[in-house]
Structure 1
């Protein structure tokens, strides 16, 4: 018998979906359990030390009952609702969700009076200084000399500031508010590509209205929210291409992913996920266009940064610096400092300075330190298990994802929210109340993602729709290796919302099918028939 290529390709495709299902289910089974029993947080204005406390089991159980009952009621109503009315309900709930996110974000940006510090200040300051012809940030010991990957975001921000004015971080915050609403809209459109179910769409819109970290991060003058918007746009366009095979959608995929890479380095996880899914899909469907598009994306992502580096070399006269090697963040991610596992302790910068800004010597020293830490883990497996458990939970079990830790300054000598205002109380006396709301939402989302991996990821399912789920898996393993920070998990969290809503829908529909006396033909809602071209 000869080799059956078609059968081998199909088996490879099935194996890809099986890996996603098994690995994703395992990860979220653990996350659901820990989010059910415990939670972690950081008080604004304090040290970057996660605090672990027992969660409210009763409140989590109550939320489970409410979401289960609410989804069942929506399904019951949907079956008896005319298509015209369903269309109206979907759009009205979407507009309410978008309006809430936009208005709440604008209120937060104005009321919190956020003053960018740290990396934010260097990024928007660098963009402004470059416009004014000052390039000291590009020296070997300067900010961009140490972190050259930031030049992608800085270049885009410089272009933006040429329109709105240098140092105008407030305008960038307003842009983030628009992109936050746009990200939520992309999630809505992704769901419409997957299903026309009114239950799923309304559930998603309600859940997104409870996603408070998305609102709080709009005052964050950085690339997090723009990267989320571009990533979700790419997924939406891929699903549109799957439906219509129009080249223009692939063009938008390429543009979106390149921009996502420019504004946030960790978007490489999304790019790798897209490459894996597209290769499996393209080989199965014998679609060369989509494979060429993703290869072009990878090439352009590298080429754009090369062009940006060269542009600033020519403008400034400073030779491009390799900066602090990436291996230093892996080494730091293996260290424990003051009882905190893998979090930032200034190790990369201190090592780079001690090596007189020599990237190669810094990398060699970091590798030696990493080897020493791995020996510690190997010699003490119990300590290794505790270390990585604490590291993972300190990032993935923080319901606010440091949104208020970074974005709710206390009243001081300069700016900050007005004392006694709601924005002030959110970062102060009402902080724990906000935390409890976000804690319940996080538990619901994690449970929905578990359902999604168990019920939606099947051997023959469209792997393109699973790209955000694959990205979340990749982000999980990356968080185990590199510097720990709950903020880094925030983009993955936003990607979960549409798929968590879909997971809840599939679960409740299955339960209703098993408990209903009606025939299978009457009960099952054919999703494919209800899909609508958005």
Structure 2
């Protein structure tokens, strides 16, 4: 069993090392940007000032090396509380000053939730929003009671809720980091780096379920890791984990990637500890998600009083999103969402089977082009990956700027989008992104097979997200959740680098 577990770890390393190396090198030389002044999500690639990024990295490493003892001696609990307080103040101020309103898919989900609450279920028409994207019903159902209580201020209320959810994200990342290592320097360095996780803080105004789903997923992961590490309350921890990850996946379907990674984690922990109770997580989470997913559809079938039936079979086939993800895009970056699936689905008569057959043909054509010209395939995927993973703000500023009533109301915010502040904040986020990617790479490279199986979980989630979005439709906002979970890795990576340097110094 130990040998099988080692094989699992080697497979994770084989994928994680090149992915993180690619992101580290890429973030040193390239930044992908979305200009707020543009209506479309057109990515502009710019060369980084790598000759400034490298000195910034050297200064960062030199400072934490010099201050290692002081960082280690900091009161971890107090530092965590200061971080949460800082996050609360920053995010609250941002949603008030930036004055962002829901738009695009956010607005569509809110509109559909409000309509259904008022007895209008026309959104389930084959060419309606929920008729095309029924997977959004979990999020709509979550929003509906808030419309009963808060009416048209529901979006703002959810921005306020996001303030607390981002604090939860940082809290549970902190608790998970403490389970991953007992090295005070690593934990405190993680907390210090979290002060610079600006994209996460800016996502507070984004009410599309990203923050909700991610906070629930990290909560679920915390309980599952407790179950894997301790024999006490194993069943209760598993049940809590199943509840939170099911809720998370209902809100954001992409979190199925995290469910798969958690199932692999459980299998590895079983091989390591031979604790059969851990395997209960897998059937429980499958049953829980399946039943709750079906229950949402049946609720809406009941609510619309038979006007629409078999809602679970509605919508665009997943193959259509893959076809778009593997298509060139003249207006945006390759593979980006450009309305192609919406227009083509309507053109094909909103027939899921016909649309799926069409999509499979388009996918086959794309794969044929890639196979015929490896150089073309490389350039295609390089552009797609760079546009998603090398955007320092992960589309947070564009989302806020496109839907914010900031012009004329706040000169500071206007400057943040268009002026010197924009250059400054983008530069800071670019430096931090490079530091995080490189630190994560160092952790996986230097830690190698010595990394415990539980600590591999973030690498597994990253691999799943990276491979999934290689084929799925692209947006920079999709990858923020994977960037956030790399902060503990980065802290432990630089700690390993310093430790190895100290050992070499002592040997000489």
TM-score between both structures, scaled by the size of structure 2: 0.94
1:159 counterpart residue number: 145
Q: Is the 8 A contact 1:399 1:442 kept in 2?
A: yes
1:335 counterpart residue number: 327
Paired residues for 1:170-249 under 5 Å: 170-245=156-231, 246=233, 247-249=235-237
TM-score between both structures, scaled by the size of structure 1: 0.90
1:529 counterpart residue number: none
CA deviation map 1:268-318 (0-9, x unaligned): 111111111211222332222221123211221122111000100111131
Q: 1:462 Cα deviation (Å)?
A: 3.0
Sort the Cα spacing of 1:121 and 1:382 in 2 relative to 1 into closer, same or farther, 3 A: same
2:452 counterpart residue number: 462
Paired residues for 1:3-82 under 5 Å: 9-46=1-38, 47-77=40-70, 81=73
1:91 counterpart residue number: 77
The correspondence for 1:388, drawn from 377, 381, 387, is: 381
Q: Is the 8 A contact 1:239 1:465 kept in 2?
A: no
Unaligned runs of 5+ residues in structure 2 are none
CA deviation map 1:109-129 (0-9, x unaligned): 011111111110111222222
Paired residues for 1:272-311 under 5 Å: 272-311=260-299
- 1:371 correspondence with 2:364: yes
Q: Is the 8 A contact 1:39 1:53 kept in 2?
A: yes
Q: Is the 8 A contact 1:409 1:427 kept in 2?
A: no
User: The residue matched to 1:53 in structure 2 has which SS?
Assistant: strand
CA deviation map 1:470-520 (0-9, x unaligned): 1011111112111111111011111111121111111211211211369xx
CA distance, structure 1, for counterparts of residue 463 and residue 15 of structure 2: 8
Q: 1:410 Cα deviation (Å)?
A: 7.6
The correspondence for 1:315, drawn from 303, 308, 312, is: 303
2:490 counterpart residue number: 500
2:340 counterpart residue number: 347
CA deviation map 1:226-245 (0-9, x unaligned): 11111211222122223322
- Once the two structures are overlaid, the 10-residue window that deviates more, 174-183 or 272-281, is 272-281
CA distance, structure 1, for counterparts of residue 455 and residue 221 of structure 2: 8
CA distance, structure 2, for counterparts of residue 509 and residue 326 of structure 1: 47
CA distance, structure 2, for counterparts of residue 418 and residue 186 of structure 1: 38
Q: Is the 8 A contact 1:409 1:417 kept in 2?
A: no
CA deviation map 1:359-383 (0-9, x unaligned): 0110001111111122222222211
Unaligned runs of 5+ residues in structure 1 are 1-8, 519-534
- Report the aligned-residue RMSD: 1.8
Q: Is the 8 A contact 2:315 2:352 kept in 1?
A: yes
The correspondence for 1:144, drawn from 102, 120, 130, is: 130
User: The residue matched to 2:392 in structure 1 has which SS?
Assistant: coil
- 1:481 correspondence with 2:474: no
2:392 counterpart residue number: 399
1:521 counterpart residue number: none
CA deviation map 1:28-60 (0-9, x unaligned): 111111111121111113121211111112221
Sort the Cα spacing of 1:191 and 1:308 in 2 relative to 1 into closer, same or farther, 3 A: same
Q: Is the 8 A contact 1:115 1:416 kept in 2?
A: no
Count of matched residue pairs: 499
CA distance, structure 2, for counterparts of residue 160 and residue 248 of structure 1: 30
User: The residue matched to 2:45 in structure 1 has which SS?
Assistant: strand
- 1:447 correspondence with 2:438: yes
Q: 1:418 Cα deviation (Å)?
A: 4.2
User: The residue matched to 2:32 in structure 1 has which SS?
Assistant: strand
User: The residue matched to 1:12 in structure 2 has which SS?
Assistant: helix
User: The residue matched to 2:90 in structure 1 has which SS?
Assistant: helix
User: The residue matched to 1:341 in structure 2 has which SS?
Assistant: coil
CA distance, structure 2, for counterparts of residue 145 and residue 78 of structure 1: 54
